[in-house]
Amino acid sequence: MAPNAGLIHEESSPGPPRHDLRRHVRGQTPDAADWDGVLSKLARMATSDQLREWRACPRCGTGLEHGEGTVSCPSCGLEEYANPAPTASALVRDGDRLLLARRAGEPGKGLWDLVGGFMDEGEEPLETLRRELREETGCEVEVGEFLGGLPDRYGDDGIWTINFYWEATLRGEPQPGDDVAELAWFPREELPPRDEFAFANTIVLLERAGARFLEPAG
């Protein structure tokens, strides 16, 4: 079966742009232990890169004091912590097929992702999941088993995220909506090559779910 056999919709796609995350995922074996290694490697990169570069308080302009993953302002009391931003996403199944979304925006524009997104303030995780799937696929969702949470970064220099996943099935036929250039079903054993995915944590999640990836072209 061709990788695009499950194509639902495609806007003009110039082919996936190359993403620096490829250096982490290229040449890795499907062994889950290696993928945990990739996450450890990411985790050793500083959590507070952005805060470290902050010099002046964004509220009052006073010089900031730097701590471990935190900055504080001695004048107005502002405190900022390097906490990850939570997301809720779905491993959407239809029999032995999995649903992937091609990203319409950066980071990872043109690369594959699972459907889901960032939690809004005050939102419960499953509300996020249902809202995001409605926005991205036009479908209501039956939520299944919780699959766990994985850390990652939102692009190579992006903020840290913590990504929570649930199994899910859709009611109805998905149509690409917000943030999605294309939705496609893939056989679980024939997902696109790893270097066509936007985020390492997605690959780890899919590896743990028993998915298999095609070899990179060329």
List Cβ neighbours of 47 (8 Å cut-off, separation of 6 or more): 69, 82, 160
Q: The tokens 């995001």 sit on which residue?
A: 132
Q: For the CB of residue 49, give the shortest distance to Zn ion in the complex, in Å.
A: 21
CB nearer Zn ion, residue 73 or residue 100: 73
List Cβ neighbours of 93 (8 Å cut-off, separation of 6 or more): 99, 167, 168, 169
Record the tokens describing residue 139, joined without a space: 């479908």
Q: For the CB of residue 63, give the shortest distance to Zn ion in the complex, in Å.
A: 9
Q: For the CB of residue 75, give the shortest distance to Zn ion in the complex, in Å.
A: 5
Going by C-alpha positions, the residue among 9, 7, 16 that lies closest to residue 196 is 16
CB nearer Zn ion, residue 56 or residue 85: 56
Side chain identity at 199, as an amino acid letter? F
Record the tokens describing residue 202, joined without a space: 């997605």
CB nearer Zn ion, residue 28 or residue 72: 72
CB 76 within 8 A of CB 59: yes
Q: For the CB of residue 40, give the shortest distance to Zn ion in the complex, in Å.
A: 36
Around Cβ 49, how many Cβ atoms within 10 Å? 14
- Chain CA centroid to CA 22, Å: 14
CB nearer Zn ion, residue 4 or residue 75: 75
Q: Which residues bind Zn ion (CB under 5 A)?
A: 57, 59-60, 62, 73, 75-76, 78
Q: Residue 151, preceding bond cis, omega within 30 degrees?
A: no
CB nearer Zn ion, residue 13 or residue 75: 75
Q: For the CB of residue 57, give the shortest distance to Zn ion in the complex, in Å.
A: 3
Q: For the CB of residue 73, give the shortest distance to Zn ion in the complex, in Å.
A: 3
**Given CA atoms 26, 28, 30, 35 in this order, what sign does their dihedral have?**
negative
CB nearer Zn ion, residue 66 or residue 134: 66
Q: For the CB of residue 35, give the shortest distance to Zn ion in the complex, in Å.
A: 42
CB nearer Zn ion, residue 32 or residue 76: 76
Q: How far apart are CA 72 and CA 106, in angstroms?
A: 30
